[in-house]
Amino acid sequence: MNYSNIQTEDPALYEILKREEQRQKEGIELIASENYVSRAVLEAMGSVLTNKYSEGYPGKRYYGGNAIVDEAENLAIARAKELFGAEHVNVQPLSGSPANLAVYMALLNPGDKVLGFSLDQGGHLSHGHPLNFSGKLYTIIPYFLHKEDEVIDMDEVEAIAVREKPKMILAGFSAYSRSLDWQRFRAIADKVGAFLFADIAHIAGLIAGKQLENPVPICDVVSTTTHKTLRGPRGAMIMCKEQFAAAINKTVFPGVQGGPHDHITAAKAVAYGEALKPEFQDYAKQVIKNAQALAAALQQKGYRIVSGGTENHLMLVDSFGSKGITGKEAETALDKAGISINKNMIPYDPRKPLDPSGIRIGTPALTTRGCREADMQAVADLMDEALASRTDETRLAAIKEKVKTFSLRFPVPGIE
């Protein structure tokens, strides 16, 4: 992207874009939900498909002129089916939260009971936060981690399900470093007659890259964002068994949304095409290897990793428990050093959400830039140095220079 037209027609925005490009190039990106898309995905997002209105679905639109858009949407659907072995796919959800709203609306009535992973232990806002539609419209019953090993206690999930008889069980997370036992969730859902809904927003790329077990054949409905490990445009999709296809399509449109974003649909098709290539499996494998190398390097330096390690792309670091550094202090210091992370509650956190005990970090973005295990040692060194120097602005500025030198060795795909 050279932005030459923005440069001449809108210098103010051009300058903002250039500074953000520079930030992305010079910083270490460890936010577990972020990634860098390819140039091809960027080009699709910047295409003229944004000019089109196509309410409805391929072959059944409420506007004319959609024959070509239909081809783009059908391409995205066919590739998603191939990638995940899905019976039915809806690629129109604008993002993860509206996708989840559509799933709730398709399977439940307001007030129905939903079993979901406790938000302060790793669940997502759309899994029952009191200010989110999910918490306002549905009766959310949380399940928790086992306090000792910090792994989801499936026996407790079963006991709660038997006691509460939820209409839907939601399996998925934004901050959990262990694999989910999909078959056990299936067995529990069957035992109590609940729908099983998996939200794989964080791990979709690791599943598509064949490194984690695929829940799509096991669950009734699966939603995912497309912009995290899957490395596509910001957006989402819903996959389901054929029996739920009509209900899901109806709640996405006209239930929740109007016209789909066809340029984003096209970019999803491009990203799914990339994920179908064998190289994407190497990428997914390296993401996990890097996360495990980073966890080990931080543990070596005395940081406690929640649950003792990671089986996916992310981990929670108990910075307060191991070093007396709160999540907020860590986020601020690392930010000053050019390292992006987010503060995060740890399970059974004694502290408050705005200044919790930990941070969440992940390796999808750095792995896209080509970092490998040895580079994770360097990242851990830089993090530890910044955290140890958290009250020393001069030191933090010097570390930021080192972070820049490190980062510039690894090109960002969309930036010259």
Q: Which is nearer to ligand PLP, 218 or 296 (CB)?
A: 218
Which residue's C-beta sits nearest to ligand PLP?
A: 96
CA distances from 150 to 29, 102, 307, 309, 357 (A): 26, 31, 5, 10, 15
Q: How far is the CB of 360 from ligand PLP (least distance, A)?
A: 11
Q: Which is nearer to ligand PLP, 115 or 236 (CB)?
A: 236
Q: Which is nearer to ligand PLP, 199 or 220 (CB)?
A: 199
38 interacts with ligand PLP by CB under 6 A? no
Radius of gyration over alpha carbons of the chain, in Å? 22
Encoded tokens for 132: 């989110």
Would the CA dihedral through 253, 258, 264, 265 be positive or negative?
positive
Which uninterrupted H or E stretch holds 135?
helix 133-137
Do residues 361 and 317 lie in contact, with contact meaning Cβ atoms separated by under 8 Å?
A: yes
228 is catalytic: yes
79 is catalytic: no
Do residues 288 and 362 lie in contact, with contact meaning Cβ atoms separated by under 8 Å?
A: no
Q: Which is nearer to ligand PLP, 173 or 303 (CB)?
A: 173
Q: Which is nearer to ligand PLP, 95 or 281 (CB)?
A: 95
Distance (Å, rounded) from C-alpha 167 to C-alpha 113?
6
Q: Which is nearer to ligand PLP, 314 or 371 (CB)?
A: 314
152 interacts with ligand PLP by CB under 6 A? no
155 is catalytic: no
Q: Which of 224, 225, 251, 367 is catalytic?
A: 225
Distance (Å, rounded) from C-alpha 76 to C-alpha 52?
17
Classify burial at 91, counting beta carbons within 10 Å of its beta carbon; exposed 0-12, middle 13-18, buried 19 or more.
buried
Subset of residues 94 to 123 that bind ligand PLP, contact rule: CB under 6 A: 95-97, 100
Distance (Å, rounded) from C-alpha 407 to C-alpha 416?
14
Task: Write the binding mask 178 to 217 for ligand PLP: x where contact by CB under 6 A, - elsewhere.
Answer: ---------------------x-xx---------------
Distance (Å, rounded) from C-alpha 346 to C-alpha 363?
19
Range in contact with ligand PLP (rule: CB under 6 A) among 142-150, 167-175, 308-316, 342-350: 167-175
Range in contact with ligand PLP (rule: CB under 6 A) among 74-82, 169-177, 213-221, 361-369: 169-177
Q: Which of 26, 43, 53, 373 is catalytic?
A: 53
Subset of residues 227 to 246 that bind ligand PLP, contact rule: CB under 6 A: 236
Do residues 368 and 313 lie in contact, with contact meaning Cβ atoms separated by under 8 Å?
A: no
362 phi, psi to nearest 5 deg: -155, 165
In the chain, what is the straight-line distance between the N-terminal and C-terminal CA atoms, in Å? 8
Q: How far is the CB of 197 from ligand PLP (least distance, A)?
A: 11
Active site positions, annotated:
53, 55, 199, 225, 228, 234
Give residues in contact with ligand PLP (CB under 6 A): 33, 95-97, 100, 124, 126, 172-174, 199, 201-202, 225, 236
